[in-house]
Amino acid sequence: MLGAVLVPLLLIVPLIGKHMDIAQATAVASRYVAFEGIARHSSSTDGWKSDADLAQEVRRRFFSNSDAPIKTHDMAGNFNAHRNPLWFDHRGTPLLSDFSNNVGVTTQKQTLAQPFGALASGFKLPQDNLYTGEVTVNIDDIANLVPFDTLGLKVSRHTSLLVDPWAASGSAQVDAKIKQASVLFPYQPLALIAAPLAVLMSNPLMAVLGTDSTPPEVGRVDPDRVPADRVLEAYQ
Other CB atoms within 10 A of residue 88 CB: 16
Taking the whole predicted model, whether its pTM rises above 0.75 is answered as no
Which of 4-8, 47-51, 112-116 has the weakest average pLDDT? 4-8
pLDDT value for 117: 61
Same domain for 109 and 205, yes or no, is: no
Mean pLDDT value of segment 2-8: 53
Beta strands in the chain (DSSP E): 103-110, 130-138, 154-162
Residue 29 has pLDDT above 60, yes or no: yes
Which of 30-39, 125-134, 173-182 has the weakest average pLDDT? 173-182
Distance CA 97, CA 99 (A): 7
- Identify the band that residue 97 occupies on the pLDDT scale cut at 50, 70 and 90: very high
Mean pLDDT value of segment 82-92: 93
Rg of the Cα atoms in the chain: 30
Strand 154-162 to 130-138 pairing: antiparallel
In a domain, 61, yes or no: yes
One-letter amino acid at 85 equals P
Q: Which residue would you say has higher pLDDT here, 125 or 39?
A: 39
In a domain, 76, yes or no: yes
Same domain for 8 and 63, yes or no, is: yes
Same domain for 91 and 120, yes or no, is: yes
Domain that holds residue 189: 171-222
Which of 21-25, 28-32, 161-165 has the weakest average pLDDT? 161-165
Q: Which of 139, 162, 185 is the last residue of a domain?
A: 162
Structural domains counted in the chain: 2
Classify the C-alpha dihedral 51-55-58-61 as positive or negative.
negative
Which of 69-83, 98-112, 219-233 has the weakest average pLDDT? 219-233
pLDDT in tens, 220-229: 666 666 777 7
Distance CA 157, CA 21 (A): 13
